[in-house]
């Protein structure tokens, strides 16, 4: 190509990997995710675009391919990328830039949780409606009893996850279809949270527990409409907390 051609065509477009700089930090996992999000933003990559191969990312950032692979595994688990054997890695959703106050990983986890709640809302409404309509008297009393235990643990500031699981498991059992419980349990385990995630702390979702009493009372009274409204209110509270966390400085959340 002649100098005249260069003038006519202008500079060659930069590869996405050109927007990366070497990482020198002990928290490489989080730093890699922040760097990749920034690369995608600056390179203008969109949904359906392929991101550079692992070896190019590793060389440019000065980290091992294992570090890159682990970071991409996190993104894949959060629904940000999809790997296609023999074709490469493609964006399914644009990750948020790390320019804001909230770290990229927390933003990604929060947005993934919001998508998860959207799925749960449909399933939970169905299973709660079935449980309220179909539960035997003994099952209704057991759901109410387990709710009492749950609220005692929560109000006492003690670990509540086991009691919460038992309460919801009783509702799933009362629905008459064990598949609901299995699917919802897998959904809970599908999203891996980082060690520093605010979404894995015992304080997360505490505001949603008082409405559990309303839910239990509606099931006890066989009031389907009230029970479905209660589970949706519980999910509304959790959704609002997620949105508050990803919109604020984590130190203030």
How is the beta sheet containing 88-91 ordered, strand by strand?
A: 50-51, 88-91, 81-84
Split into its structural domains, the chain has a count of 2
Do 79 and 108 share a structural domain?
A: no
Do 248 and 161 share a structural domain?
A: yes
Higher pLDDT, 177 or 20: 177
Domain boundary among 60, 91, 122: 91
pLDDT at 8: 42
- The answer to whether residue 122 sits within a structural domain is yes
- What's the whole-model pTM score? 0.66
Q: Mind listing the pLDDT tens digit for each residue in 61-99?
A: 888 889 898 888 888 877 788 998 888 999 988 776 655
Largest interatomic CA distance in the chain? 87
- The answer to whether residue 97 sits within a structural domain is no
- The answer to whether residue 56 sits within a structural domain is yes
Which is nearest to 199 in space by CA: 80, 112, 109?
A: 109
pLDDT at 29 over 80: no
Do 84 and 112 share a structural domain?
A: no
In angstroms, the CA 121 to CA 190 distance is: 16
pLDDT at 102 over 80: no
pLDDT (mean) for 157-171: 93
- The answer to whether residue 96 sits within a structural domain is no
- The answer to whether residue 46 sits within a structural domain is yes
pLDDT at 35: 86
- CATH number of the CATH domain containing 177: 1.20.120.530
Domain boundary among 91, 125, 144: 91
Q: How many CB atoms lie within 10 A of CB 89?
A: 18
Do 230 and 138 share a structural domain?
A: yes
Which residue range forms the structural domain that includes residue 62?
Answer: 3-91
pLDDT at 10: 46
pLDDT at 107: 79
Do 128 and 11 share a structural domain?
A: no
- The answer to whether residue 99 sits within a structural domain is no
Higher pLDDT, 249 or 225: 225
**pLDDT band per the 50, 70, 90 thresholds, residue 121:** very high
Q: Mind listing the pLDDT tens digit for each residue in 172-213?
A: 999 999 888 888 878 776 665 665 678 878 788 899 999 999
pLDDT (mean) for 21-37: 69
pLDDT at 220 over 60: yes
Torsion sign across C-alpha atoms 23, 29, 33, 36: positive
Helix H, strand E, coil C: the string for the chain is CCHHHHHHHCCCCCCHHHHCCCCCCCCHHHHHHHHHHHHHHHHCCCCCCEECCHHHHHHHHCCCHHHHHHHHHHHHHCCCEEEECCCEEEECCCCCCCCCCCCHHHHHHHHHHHHHHHHHHHHHHHHHHHHHHHCCHHHHHHHHHHHHHHHHHHHCCCCCHHHHHHHHHHHHHHCCCHHHHHHHHHHHHHCCCCCCCHHHCCCCCHHHCHHHHHHHHHHHCCCHHHHHHHHHHHHHHHHHHHHHHHHCCHHHC
Domain boundary among 91, 125, 158: 91
In angstroms, the CA 8 to CA 79 distance is: 41
**Exposure b/e, 196-213, CB count within 10 A at least 16 = b:** ebbbeeeebbeebbebbe
Do 199 and 129 share a structural domain?
A: yes
Torsion sign across C-alpha atoms 110, 39, 76, 67: negative
Q: How many CB atoms lie within 10 A of CB 15?
A: 13
pLDDT at 192: 59
Residue with tokens 């997360």: 204
Do 178 and 82 share a structural domain?
A: no
Do 148 and 219 share a structural domain?
A: yes
């Amino acid at each position: 190509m002649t100098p005249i051609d260069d003038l006519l065509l202008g500079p060659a477009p930069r590869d996405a990997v050109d927007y990366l700089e070497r990482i020198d930090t002990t928290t490489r996992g989080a730093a890699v995710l922040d760097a990749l999000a920034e690369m995608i933003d600056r390179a203008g990559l969109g949904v359906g675009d392929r991101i550079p191969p692992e070896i190019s990312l590793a060389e440019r950032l000065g980290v091992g391919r294992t570090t890159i692979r682990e970071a991409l595994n996190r993104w894949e688990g959060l629904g940000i990328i999809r790997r296609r054997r023999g074709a490469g890695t493609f964006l399914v959703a644009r990750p948020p830039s790390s320019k804001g106050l909230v770290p990229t990983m927390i933003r990604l986890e929060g947005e993934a949780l919001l998508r998860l709640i959207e799925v749960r809302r449909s399933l939970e409404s169905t299973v709660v409606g079935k449980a309220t309509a179909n539960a035997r008297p003994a099952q209704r009393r057991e759901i109410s009893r387990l709710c009492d235990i749950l609220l005692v643990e929560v109000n006492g500031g003690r670990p509540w996850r086991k009691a919460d699981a038992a309460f919801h498991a009783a509702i799933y059992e009362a629905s008459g279809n064990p598949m609901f419980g299995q699917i919802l349990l897998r959904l809970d385990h599908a999203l891996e949270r980082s060690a520093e995630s605010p979404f894995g702390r015992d304080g997360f979702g505490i505001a949603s527990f008082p409405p559990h009493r309303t839910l239990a009372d509606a099931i006890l009274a066989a009031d389907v409409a009230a029970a479905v409204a209660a589970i949706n209110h519980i999910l509304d509270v959790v959704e609002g907390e997620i949105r508050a966390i990803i919109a604020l400085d984590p130190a203030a959340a």
